[in-house]
Amino acid sequence: MMTLFGVFGLRFTTGHLIWAAVLTPACIALFLPPRPLWIGITSAVVIALAAVATIRGRRLTGWVAAVFSWRRRHRNGPDLPSEPAVGATVLPGDHVAVRWQDDYLVSAIELVPRPFTPTVIVGGQAYTDDVVDTRLVEKLVTADACRRGATTAF
């Protein structure tokens, strides 16, 4: 949990400091007498603080951008998933699918890595549980080719 002082901070970047250096004198010049000078000084201090002060690591401009991006992301619900392609060959329980797209064989392989699964190297070969079994892909291609009536040469 953050303390009250841990929420606030200062960040100095060239771009924001240049904007503050340009706008601060302009605010003071805009409110020279006969207008009340305290309004110009107050607005100059607010602009200078807005240029360097951060709340939870973001400046005022960053919070405005975050709110607008959040609103844009949450304006519409996510798109519905597409229907599965007709003619795909899939074995149940496996994360591999193949199908022919015109003259090309298209395969979809879902890689689901398990974190902290060790890979052991013995005699120059790597052994791990996170592998794609190419024999499964070969069986799917053979099954799809037999279904289509084509011959395969493996």
**Tens of pLDDT along 88-125?**
555 555 667 777 777 777 777 777 677 777 778 888 88
pLDDT of residue 89: 59
Collect all residues with Cβ–Cβ distance below 8 Å to 141 and sequence separation of at least 6.
98, 105, 152, 154
What beta strand segments (E) does 14-141 contain? 53-55, 89-90, 96-101, 104-109, 120-122, 125-127
Alpha-carbon distance 130 to 66, whole Å?
38
Whose CA is closest to 98, among 139, 131, 130?
139
Per-residue pLDDT band at 151 (split at 50, 70, 90): low
Whose CA is closest to 42, among 29, 26, 54, 27?
27
Task: Record the tokens describing residue 130, joined without a space.
Answer: 């996170």
pLDDT of residue 117: 74
pLDDT of residue 83: 57
Task: Record the tokens describing residue 146, joined without a space.
Answer: 């037999």
pLDDT of residue 103: 77
Kindly report, residue by residue over 18-67, the tens digit of the pLDDT: 999 999 999 889 988 888 989 999 999 999 999 999 998 899 989 999 99
Q: Does the pTM of the predicted model rise above 0.75?
A: no
